[in-house]
Amino acid sequence: MFSTTRKGNPVLIMGSNRYNLTTGYSGHKLRWACTKKMIGLPVFSTTRYGNPVLILGSNRYNLNPGYRSGPKLRFACTKKMTGCKAIVYTLDNVIVEYKRSHNHR
Give the whole-angstrom CA distance, residue 97 versus residue 30.
23
Q: Which is nearer to Zn ion, 31 or 97 (CB)?
A: 97
Strand ranges (E), the chain: 2-4, 10-14, 17-21, 32-34, 43-46, 52-56, 59-63, 73-77, 87-91, 94-99
99 DSSP β-pair partners: 87
Q: Which residue is nearest to Zn ion (CB)?
A: 77
Among positions 71-90, residues that touch Zn ion (CB under 5 A) are 77, 79, 84, 86
CB of 90 to Zn ion, least distance (A): 16
Q: Which is nearer to Zn ion, 19 or 98 (CB)?
A: 98
CB of 8 to Zn ion, least distance (A): 30
- 60 makes contact with Zn ion (CB under 5 A): no
Residue 85 is given by DSSP the state -
Residues that bind Zn ion (CB under 5 A): 77, 79, 84, 86, 102
